[in-house]
Chains A and B, each alone.
Chain A
């Protein structure tokens, strides 16, 4: 469990709190979407969860380890994997295999173990055949998968995607999210998706909305989509699919209130 207890955070040199008294917990094996407009503090929240930032006040506990101590941070980072926005700036090695092995090397595993975990992670994200490819010849989509594999190879209990999919094209993003959903289901990996794109919430069990450093919603995505006013005041838009469904209903067409996929909506209309 990642547990934030009345956490506030102020960036060094800033006179404004980026996060104001947040108390929230992320239990294991949950898929959560954290949404909010730019500057709402959602990335700050993510970086508090693995001790990259330390709370100005309050506590952050990861499976009971307080990130305030060096040892606690180490334990937190082992458990909470994190993928950032630009995969180019996350890679340290010149080939795929060596880059994915970087995290396991830091954990001090022996060679056989590293080999097994790296191969497994590459298999899991479907880029086993790229193992010896040089990083700079990969497509942006493939680079994202390498960044993801590099974190999965460390066997984290939680995975945080810090706007990791925003720069991907729609198809690649959908397939990456689907793959994450599968890994989440099969391995019981806790996934926290930080995003400003509401459609990434489709697969989440839980939605959290941040606005100006405050927690303003914590519940199911369905519930959230029923509150367009809350969304609008936080500068967010419901996903296009929901907007379309709402518009159709307003015109008197009978469609479900929260279609999960475009196919579901199409099937309804065809009936």
Chain B
């Protein structure tokens, strides 16, 4: 039941591979991702969105990650997207006072403007989903944390504890499977003693989670204390004086990727400005 959820989420699941995308420097991935996403958020229009969608699909094919795997993650979101679209059609009438009315629902008015705005949003979110999936499927989260730390390293000189933040992020990731296992054990222990965790109304179910949540948190505190001792024993004393075991090096491939992405982004901007529909 509850353990199964993670199986359907593809964001955040690194799939090791040797494709062009996998071989890019994680800093390149992070920067180009940021560029594409900010374009997606600023630019508006079918043509630029379809352009970006097309580009994302090309990247997906280049990554050699099974398309079905990525789309399976999108499936549960389809309902949300559909509802979002319907809402935007129904409730956005007042934004388009000069558009003809398609139909009325009480005091609300559906217009073609709403249909378009909704479609654009659905398209935008789908592209955003695809890009985010691609980033996290082709780069480990730890790798991305390292890349982020390196990209932001000028801030460290201003006293921002980047190294510490990156380590906290890594440790959090490191303990996700451990705590998931722990939770699973607790669930099984409760069920074997006759607990019915998936029955009853919302409140009843929430109340039945207490015997899971309390021991889980106690165990988290225990583990944290052990971890602090172990880290201190291994000479951890904050980010100061620490070195990095890994380094990234930009390759010609990264320059190529940067040029291609810049071209796509420029095309999206231009088409967004010149073809305003």
Which of A89-97, A235-243, A249-257 lines the interface with chain B? A89-97
Q: Answer whether A107 and B235 are a contact pair too, CB < 8 Å, given A92-B171, A93-B174, A136-B177.
A: yes
B4 within 8 A of A: no
Residue on B nearest A147 in the bound complex, by CB: B230
Interface residues of B in 225-246 (CB under 8 A from A): 226-227, 229-237, 241-246
Interface residues of A in 91-117 (CB under 8 A from B): 91-95, 97-98, 101-111, 114-115
B133-146 interface bits toward A, Cβ cutoff 8 Å, 1 = contact, 0 = none: 00000001110000
Residues in chain B near residue A105, CB distance under 8 A: 242-245
B178 within 8 A of A: yes
Q: Is the CB of A92 within 8 A of B237?
A: no
Our count of residue pairs bridging A and B at CB distance below 8 angstroms stands at 95
B182-197 interface bits toward A, Cβ cutoff 8 Å, 1 = contact, 0 = none: 0000000000000000
Interface size of B by Cβ–Cβ distance < 8 Å?
A: 31
B170 within 8 A of A: yes
Selected from B173, B181, B223, the residue in CB contact (under 8 A) with A89 is B223
Q: Answer whether A89 and B242 are a contact pair too, CB < 8 Å, given A94-B142, A98-B142, A103-B235.
A: no
A205-223 interface bits toward B, Cβ cutoff 8 Å, 1 = contact, 0 = none: 0000000000000000000
Selected from B141, B177, B230, B241, the residue in CB contact (under 8 A) with A84 is B230
Residue on A nearest B236 in the bound complex, by CB: A106
- In the bound assembly, the distance between CA atoms of A111 and B146 in angstroms comes to 15
Residues in chain A near residue B247, CB distance under 8 A: 111
- In the bound assembly, the distance between CA atoms of A94 and B177 in angstroms comes to 10
Interface residues of B in 204-229 (CB under 8 A from A): 222-223, 226-227, 229
Selected from B142, B227, B232, B244, the residue in CB contact (under 8 A) with A77 is B232
A61 within 8 A of B: no
A135 within 8 A of B: yes
Q: Is the interface of B mostly helix, strand, loop or mixed?
A: helix
- In the bound assembly, the distance between CA atoms of A103 and B167 in angstroms comes to 13
Residue on B nearest A103 in the bound complex, by CB: B234
Q: Is the CB of A77 within 8 A of B167?
A: no
Residues in chain A near residue B223, CB distance under 8 A: 88-89
Residue on B nearest A136 in the bound complex, by CB: B177
Interface residues of A in 192-216 (CB under 8 A from B): none
A74 within 8 A of B: yes
Q: Answer whether A111 and B243 are a contact pair too, CB < 8 Å, given A136-B177, A154-B234.
A: yes
Least Cβ–Cβ distance between A129 and chain B, in angstroms: 16
A36 within 8 A of B: no
Q: Is the CB of A150 within 8 A of B234?
A: yes
Q: Is the CB of B242 within 8 A of A106?
A: yes
A76-90 interface bits toward B, Cβ cutoff 8 Å, 1 = contact, 0 = none: 011001101010111
Q: Is the CB of B233 within 8 A of A108?
A: no
Least Cβ–Cβ distance between B12 and chain A, in angstroms: 12
Q: Is the CB of A154 within 8 A of B177?
A: no
Interface magnitude class on chain A:
35 or more
Residues in chain B near residue A81, CB distance under 8 A: 233-234
Residues in chain B near residue A106, CB distance under 8 A: 234-237, 241-242
A151 within 8 A of B: yes
Residues in chain A near residue B233, CB distance under 8 A: 50, 52, 77, 81-82, 84
Q: Is the CB of A98 within 8 A of B177?
A: no
Residue on B nearest A151 in the bound complex, by CB: B234
Q: Is the CB of A86 within 8 A of B245?
A: no
A118 within 8 A of B: yes
Residues in chain A near residue B231, CB distance under 8 A: 92, 102
- Interface core residue of A86, A90, A111 (most chain B CB under 10 Å): A90
- In the bound assembly, the distance between CA atoms of A106 and B178 in angstroms comes to 24
Residues in chain B near residue A109, CB distance under 8 A: 243
Residues in chain B near residue A101, CB distance under 8 A: 245-246
Q: Is the CB of A154 within 8 A of B235?
A: yes
Residues in chain B near residue A52, CB distance under 8 A: 229, 232-233
Q: Answer whether A114 and B140 are a contact pair too, CB < 8 Å, given A77-B232, A89-B226, A92-B174.
A: no
Q: Is the CB of B245 within 8 A of A98?
A: yes
Q: Answer whether A90 and B227 are a contact pair too, CB < 8 Å, given A77-B232, A151-B234.
A: yes
- In the bound assembly, the distance between CA atoms of A233 and B243 in angstroms comes to 50
Q: Answer whether A102 and B234 are a contact pair too, CB < 8 Å, given A92-B227, A136-B178.
A: yes
Q: Is the CB of A74 within 8 A of B178?
A: no
Q: Is the CB of B230 within 8 A of A90?
A: yes
Least Cβ–Cβ distance between B118 and chain A, in angstroms: 40
Selected from A47, A82, A93, the residue in CB contact (under 8 A) with B142 is A93
Leading 10 A-B pairs by shortest Cβ distance: A89-B226, A101-B245, A136-B177, A90-B230, A103-B234, A106-B235, A82-B233, A114-B245, A89-B223, A108-B241
8 further contact pairs, Cβ within 8 A, besides A94-B141, A94-B170, A108-B242: A47-B229, A50-B233, A74-B235, A84-B226, A84-B230, A101-B246, A111-B244, A111-B247
* A and B contact pairs by CB, cutoff 8 A, 9 listed: A52-B232, A77-B233, A84-B226, A84-B229, A95-B142, A103-B234, A111-B244, A111-B245, A136-B178
